[in-house]
Amino acid sequence: MKKILLYILGAVLMMIVWAGVIFLGTVDGWFHKPIAKQNSSQSFLAAVETEIDKQFVGNFAMATVKDGTVEYEKFHSAGKSVDRNTVFQVSSLSKWISAFGIMKLVEEGKLDLDAPVSNYLTRWQLPRSEFNNDEVTVRRLLSHTAGLTDGLGYSGFEAGAPIQSLEQSLTKAQDADAGISGAVHVGIKPGSAFKYSGGGYTLLQLLVEEVSNQSFDSYMKESVFKPLGMFHSTYVWNDSSSYLLAEFYNKDSTRSKHYRYTALAATSLYTSLSDLEIFFQTHLEGSDKEPIGRNVVNPETVKMMREPHGQQMGIDIWGLGTVLYAATDSNDFIIGHDGKSTPPINTAIRLNPETGDGIIILETGHPFIATKLASEWVFWKTGRVDTFLFPMLLNGLVWTIGIGWAVIIGIIIVFSVSRRLRLK
């Protein structure tokens, strides 16, 4: 009996070691190959072409940036052609740009990052909970650490359908993604954990309107887009606009409807590749030594937005509205944001503030190709598995661990049986 227990203990220890090695190896990219066959921009671009050819994409616009300068742009369209000024709806990538505008209000002293948001609200308040709602602050809302458990996720409203007011949406969003309650409330202790919350950004949208005495869209246009020269950007689409709006597609290549949102700050930004190139460069010193922030916000504020605030599994993944994708050699981060919604919109930006290198992808018709290619860009450039590439590698991780465990169990069984036979 003791020998059997020893065999079992040995098997368990070997299985734990194997799982740990495979997990760490996956995190460090040991088992993942770059999509580019060579260490050249042309090789990466060829890999992008291959991915587009393999998978349906309705519309696609991409820019790669080197040393702060756009080096390459690529476009693909299944219908009407798109270019660098075509306007795309960008889903949750909206949050990063929204956060930039909110930080401007912090700089101006109109918002305090660490004051209770209830101090600023008159039109709606968080419902009572078992936790202290006064611990819900702007800082925590920006970093998804405010304890909100809505999990939103907005599906939007079809053209012609009535759109909820902000207050109604915060109470219970009618356009919540399937399986989500849509109610914004405090469900865990504020500051205790990272938990993604679209509702938190809808609450921030209300906050902006309260302190600026403007609609959220008007505030962002006047305070951020116009000063930066982002003239193709808006949170509310006007059908009479002279700008071209990228067509929407389903995964099966059929045309999809255009959905509109109450949750502007969380998911409703319309913008172009050319405008996002400007926003990208706003995070870098210009060629003529234009300051970071381009005099819209201070350089210190831009840098503050990428200071770690949200963690998962002990890894820093979120700043103030900014995703922290991977650590750099100088203890900074490759930053940006992604967007994903149904019917498929997928958008992604990766920006290395140290080198000025990065990638911007706007896409309709495929649920994750923008995220995949942007994360592959990070791996190709740095050898690091970023925050969003790791989940894509989980299936391979599980299979590899499972196969290893089966081999370990098999070896233990064969060893124990053969040992018994020798002793007979």
Question: What integer best gives the mean pLDDT of the chain?
Answer: 93
Tokens describing residue 33: 């190959």
Neighbours of 105 (CB within 10 A): 21
Please provide the CATH number assigned to the domain covering 41-392. 3.40.710.10
Q: What is the largest CA-CA distance in the chain?
A: 89
Q: List the domain boundaries for the chain.
A: 2-28+397-423, 41-392
Strands 323-327 and 345-352, sheet pairing: unpaired
Phi and psi at residue 212, to the nearest 5°:
-95, -15
DSSP letter assigned to residue 338: E
At 293, the pLDDT band (50, 70, 90 cuts) reads: very high
Cα angle: 176, vertex 182, 185; to 5 degrees: 150
| pLDDT recorded at residue 1 | 60
Q: Model confidence over 89-127: pLDDT tens digits?
A: 999 999 999 999 999 999 999 999 999 999 999 999 999
Measured distance CA(220)–CA(211) in Å, rounded = 13
- The pTM score is 0.93
Q: Model confidence over 308-339: pLDDT tens digits?
A: 999 998 899 999 999 999 999 888 999 999 99
